[in-house]
Amino acid sequence: MNKDWNLPNLKMAQKRSIDETLIERSLFEIPEQYINIGQDKTYYLRTYGCQANERDSETIKGIFEKMSFTQCDEMNEADVIIFNTCAIRENAENKVFGEIGNVKVIKQTRPDVVLMVGGCMTQEENVVNRLLKTYHQVDVIFGTHNIHRLPQLLIQAYFNKERVVEVFSKEGEVYENLPVSRNNKSKAWVNIMYGCDKFCTYCIVPYTRGKERSRLKEDILSEVDDLVNQGFKEVTLLGQNVNAYGKDLNLDFDFADLLESVALKDIPRVRFMTSHPWDFTDKLIGVIAKMPNVMPFIHLPLQSGNNEILKIMGRRYTKEDYLTIFDKLRSQVPNIALSTDIIVGFPNESEAQFQETLELIDHCQFDNVYSFIYSAREKTPAASMVDNVSLSEKNDRLQRLNKRIGVHALMHNQAMVGKTVSVLVDGPSKKNSDVYSGYTETNKLVNFKPTTDCIGEIVLVEIISAKTWTLQGKQV
Ligand code: SF4
């Protein structure tokens, strides 16, 4: 153990105070003499997990490019390897440990390669202890609160030839003026807030990402202005729980106000994620219905269709509360598409309780559902609950649920056949470079043969056929 190491601390991570959120504007810097430390060098960045991590990785890219590094797609060839990790489920973590193991082989022939591991996993005490004890190939361990410190941590590792561990377990600040190198030139993630205070009993996020803290609207709106001036067609307002935007700022300006302010900008498409039913107001539904460039697609996690399970999950709404919001969205926003998250096999979930989830899925007929088997996260309250649902039972429930989900998704897609829809074109589809793909306003994936050079453009496509998860069309 090194006394200079800053190790994660769960107790600190649980702390929540009413202290005002600190906005840091000038914390990021690269010492003059190290601006070209990356000259003729490359970095490899692997991102795991959610959109928040995707956006953090765009900051990491921005920082490395400011240090003159070039991004490369081959881990074996990179001078610096960075893993931006996810801690949401055990299998996500196991994947990362596997990849870290692979770097050991690389470093046998190229010992100067620097391996940096960050993201949500390294905010966990047990993970950092395991990395320090077993994975000596890891040179730098950083967290979710100090991405702006990457230049200093890299320089330390390079010149001191010793392991660097700097992970802060805290409520957190808001960092402005950090570099960004975006992955997409027509769609952009725009952070509006960080962290979460909901403390759902199964979730690790409140411990890894800190308290709910909002960016100032001026900073968000000026970022959107920049994106509009650069020709972006779509922005997604991002947060673990966007509906709680502004609550920590004690201003008479909530998420509905922010969404309307962004939608009044000259941007064709506005999206937001992730929502929590708890803060989903009628005012917000009104803005979604009123503003034509707020896309008619809402991701609203439900997690379970049974009230007892929702209670022990700590979700603090009932299925009736959820259905009230769901039905209002369906009735007030024409053509709206809705998706959700469902966890099966939560501790003590009985077959009868699972049946209620299936009934709710049949009632709602979601356009899409992200379904997961419950995965105990160490030190979360649910992890100490007796998990009496067998793995085979969990798998069986997941299969039964996924069957229903597929039926509804196909039904919604088949209803699109013959319609002409607007699609924001991402580029050649993964499977066939002659075919382009992009998303509709309702967030459905469309593959079509382009008749014009339309990457990054919004074009009209007539839907010819439908599969469960994709639509096929022709440009009109
Ligand atoms: S709302 Fe619940 S599930 Fe979502 S990030 Fe917060 S604690 Fe996790």
Q: What is the rounded distance in angstroms from the CA atom of residue 409 to the CA atom of residue 369?
A: 9
What amino acid is encoded at 79 in this protein? D
SS3 annotation, 357-412 = HHHHHHHHCCCEEEEEECCCCCCCHHHHCCCCCCHHHHHHHHHHHHHHHHHHHHHH
If you measure from the C-alpha of residue 348 to the centroid of ligand 1, how many angstroms do you get, rounded to a whole number? Answer: 20
Q: Do the bridges between strand 174-175 and strand 234-238 make them parallel or antiparallel, or are there none, so unpaired?
A: unpaired
CA-closest residue to ligand 1 atom 2 = 200
29 Cα–ligand 1 center, Å: 32
d(CA 365, CA 359): 10
Q: Is residue 436 a contact partner of residue 447, using CB atoms and an 8 Å limit?
A: yes
The residue nearest atom 1 of ligand 1, judged by CA position, is 198
CA of 241 to the centre of ligand 1 (A): 7
Cα 104 from Cα 115, distance rounded (Å):
10
Q: Which fold is adopted by the domain 420-475? A: OB fold (Dihydrolipoamide Acetyltransferase, E2P) (2.40.50)
Going from the Cα of 198 to the center of ligand 1, the distance in angstroms, rounded, reads 6
* C-alpha 199 – ligand 1 centre gap (Å): 6
Q: Facing residues of 299 across strands?
A: 339
Atom of ligand 1 nearest to the CA of 206: 7
Residue recorded with tokens 């929540």: 16
Q: What is the pLDDT of residue 285?
A: 98
Q: How many angstroms separate the alpha carbon of residue 274 from the centre of ligand 1?
A: 9
Q: Which atom of ligand 1 is nearest to the CA of 314?
A: 2
Substitution candidate for ligand 1 out of 50, 120, 241 with most atoms within 8 A of CB: 241
The pick from 198, 201, 245, 278 for probing ligand 1's pocket by mutation, whose C-beta has the most ligand atoms within 8 angstroms, reads 198
Whether the CB-CB separation of 82 and 118 falls below 8 Å is answered with yes
Q: What angle do CA 203, 345, 209 make, to 5 degrees?
A: 10
Q: Ligand 1, from 276, 279, 340, 375: best to mutate by most atoms within 8 Å of Cβ? A: 276
CA angle 422, 453, 230 (to 5 degrees): 75
Domain ranges of the chain: 10-166, 180-414, 420-475
How do 445-449 and 458-466 pair as beta strands? unpaired
- The residue with tokens 């798998």 is 395
Q: How far is the CA of 462 from the centre of ligand 1 (A)?
A: 38
Single out the residue of 359, 306, 314, 285 nearest to residue 200, CA to CA: 314
Nearest residue to 118 (alpha-carbon basis) of 90, 149, 82, 88: 82
Predicted local distance difference test score (pLDDT) of residue 378: 86
* pTM, rounded to two decimals: 0.95
Q: Is 46 exposed, middle or buried (0-12, 13-18, 19+ CB in 10 A)?
A: middle
Residue 162 is predicted with a pLDDT of 84
255-263 and 282-290 helices, crossing angle to 10°: 10
| Dihedral sign computed on CA atoms, order 28, 32, 34, 40 | positive
How far apart, in whole angstroms, are the C-alpha atoms of residue 232 and residue 188?
7
Whole-angstrom CA distances from 418 to 449, 464, 467 are 16, 6, 14
Q: Whose CA is nearest to atom 4 of ligand 1?
A: 240
**Domain 180-414 belongs to what topology?**
pyruvate-formate lyase- activating enzyme (3.80.30)
Question: Residue 246: how many CA atoms within 13 Å on its side-chain side?
Answer: 15
Q: Which of 199, 203, 238 maximizes ligand 1 atoms within 8 Å of its Cβ, making it the mutation to test the pocket?
A: 203
Pocket of ligand 1, candidates 88, 240, 312, 372: which has the most ligand atoms within 8 Å of its Cβ, to mutate? Answer: 240
pLDDT tens track, the chain, 476 positions: 788 899 999 899 999 988 888 999 998 999 999 999 999 999 999 999 999 999 999 999 999 999 999 999 999 999 999 999 999 888 889 999 999 999 999 999 999 999 999 999 999 999 999 999 999 999 999 999 999 999 999 999 988 778 999 999 999 999 999 999 999 999 999 999 999 999 999 999 999 999 999 999 999 999 999 999 999 999 999 999 999 999 998 889 999 999 999 999 999 999 999 999 988 999 999 999 999 999 999 999 999 999 999 999 999 999 999 999 999 999 999 899 999 999 999 999 999 999 999 999 999 999 999 999 998 998 899 999 998 899 999 999 999 999 999 999 999 999 999 999 999 999 998 788 899 999 999 999 999 999 999 999 999 999 999 999 999 999 99
Place of tokens 């829809």: 421
Residues with CB under 6 A from ligand 1: 196, 198-200, 203, 205-206, 240-241, 276
- CA 71 to ligand 1 centroid distance, Å: 32
Instruction: Please give the distance of CA 341 from its chain centroid, rounded to a whole number.
Output: 13
Q: How far is the CA of 34 from the centre of ligand 1 (A)?
A: 39
Whole-number Å distance, alpha carbon 217 to ligand 1 midpoint, is 23
Tell me the CA–centroid distance for residue 56 and ligand 1, in Å: 18
3-class state of residue 326 by DSSP: helix
Task: Kindly give, in sequence order, each residue whose CB lies less than 8 Å from that of residue 441, ignoring residues fewer than 6 positions away.
Answer: 269, 295, 296, 297, 421, 422
Q: Give how far Cα 233 sits from Cα of 56, 65, 423, 459, Å.
A: 21, 25, 11, 12
How far apart CA 150 and CA 75 sit, in angstroms, is 19
Backbone angles phi, psi at 327, to 5 degrees: -65, -35
Q: What share of the chain is helix, strand, coil (3-state, %, to 5)?
A: 40, 20, 40
- 10-166: in CATH 3.40.50.12160: yes
